[in-house]
Amino acid sequence: MARTSLSGFPEWLPAQRIVEQAVLDVIAETFELHGYASVATRAVEPLTELLRKGETSKEVYVLSRLQADPSDPAAESDADRLGLHFDLTVPFARYVLENAGHLAFPFKRYQIQPVWRGERPQDGRFREFVQADIDVVGDGTLPFHYEVEVPIVAARALGALRELGLPPVRVLVNNRKVAEGFYRSIGLDRPEEVLRIVDKLAKVGPARVAGMLADEVGASSDQAEACLALASLSGGVEVVERVRSLAAEHRVVLDDDPAAELLEDGLAELGELLRQAEDRAPGVVTADLSVARGLDYYTGSVYETVLLGHENLGSICSGGRYDSLASDGRRTFPGVGISIGVSRVLSRLFSAGLVEATRAVPTAVLVAVADEATRPASDAVADALRDRGIAADVAPSAAKFGKQIRVADRRGIPYVWFLSTQDDGAVRHEVKDIRSGEQVEADPATWEPPAQDRRPRAVPTPG
């Protein structure tokens, strides 16, 4: 019976893996340039922790032993069950709690790891995928300026990928205080549910969202219209005044009500974020009041990022501020973070033919073998090149040189090294660039390929 591949679990070809590694290197370097330290967490977490935040119960992969006996008194209880992590934020919160005594706060970390999410695979969405996260976590308090820094660092990481063929990005920002304050100010007292519904706007459209608001939170037609009007606002810092006008038009609570104060706090933060971002990353960050972020642990700024010209892919980078995700009952560790969907970015780079690898193998030189008796001499040349950091391989068989050149060509190896014994017993070394046909004498102790040929590189696809 023919085997079928599992959808949603990408397995890149060798040339694509070279691109993936180049992307990861650029992202990690950018994060480190901004002071973020690398950490890694385990792949599994207690199921109770994974289900604690947001609507994730349908997405978590549960782990169990194949031979587990539910009737065994020693069998795992529900509290002991494990699941694969669906993001890197929940395990990071646990990591902070367990290691707080060894960390200096504010703690800036980055983490690049696979995650697993049991959702329906589609363009840019996988069941196993790589994320690249940054977070800043404080002890008790966390200054607002980190809410400005995090999206800018992510934008710079993605901007650095333009050299590899990635299109420009736009970071869309909102503030949960704005949304919650606005919803409460117009008489909707279940803001978390309203946010969850509005978060579906891009998927189901305004008419369906209006219907869901009426059915699920009891919104009147005027309240639903106000929610949709808020979600339609986008632009620069001028958006702040437009929100104030919209709130004044629909407000049903007094100006000194806590809802109004929450709205004003959120607008002040949103305006400051937009002003600072425009100074530090002109034209990259813009307000979009439709950005809701469905997970319920966000409490301040929230972010989503789109590829310009590829908006149909959805957000490739998202996150926000959370004030109580990590707490042990005595200390609370507020934070702000953002996550780049590396696999989603790669899927578009590959499907749109935007990037390619200069070759599919690390090998720069294939050392030819004249006959099997002289293979040790070819091995010695390869080792001499490797000792100086030049990736080399030895021909698999002592075929005619033309056939060995074809082997190198099929693998994308740019150079072939030849050894020949002269009449006086001396060994002559020559290296051939099989792309140009140029062949020159060379010394394995000193020969260097051009810098661009030392390692395979990811480059924008020509044209």
240-252 pLDDT tens trace: 999 999 999 987 7
- CA separation for the pair 282, 275 (Å, rounded): 10
Single pTM value for the model: 0.91
> How high is the pLDDT of residue 114?
97
How is the chain split into domains, by residue range? 14-356, 365-456
**What confidence tens digit (pLDDT) does each residue in 351-403 have?**
999 999 999 999 999 999 999 999 999 999 999 999 999 999 999 999 999 99
Name the superfamily (CATH) of residues 365-456: Anticodon-binding domain (3.40.50.800)
Q: Is the pLDDT of residue 448 over 50?
A: yes
1-40 pLDDT tens trace: 455 678 999 999 999 999 999 999 999 999 999 999 999 9
CB environment 311-330: b (16+ within 10 A), e (fewer) = eebbbbbbbbbbbebbeeee
Mean pLDDT of 266-280: 97
Q: Residues 179-200: pLDDT tens digits?
A: 999 999 999 989 889 988 998 8
Q: Position of tokens 């809701």?
A: 292
Using CA atoms, how far residue 330 sits from 326, 327, 333, 383, in Å, is: 11, 7, 10, 59
pLDDT of residue 79: 65
DSSP conformation letters of 344-400:
HHHHHHHHTT-EEES-SSS--EEE--SSGGGHHHHHHHHHHHHHTT--EEE-SS---
124 falls in which pLDDT band (50, 70, 90)?
confident
- Indicate the residue type of 442: A
| Residues ≥6 apart with Cβ < 8 Å to 11 | none
Architecture of domain 14-356: 2-Layer Sandwich (3.30)
- Binding-site positions read 87-89, 117, 131, 135, 293, 297-298
Q: What is the mean pLDDT of the chain?
A: 92
Q: Binding site for L-histidine: which residues?
A: 87-89, 117, 131, 135, 293, 297-298
Q: What is the pLDDT of residues 170-182, one digit of tens each?
A: 999 999 999 999 9
pLDDT of 1 reads: 44
Q: Do domains 14-356 and 365-456 have the same CATH topology?
A: no
pLDDT digits (tens, 9 = 90+) for 283-323: 999 999 999 876 667 899 999 999 999 999 999 999 999 99
Hey, how many other C-beta atoms are within 10 angstroms of the C-beta on 292? 22
Q: Which of 342, 386, 453, 413 is nearest to 19 (CA)?
A: 342
DSSP run (H or E) holding 332: strand 332-341
Q: What is the largest CA-CA distance in the chain?
A: 102
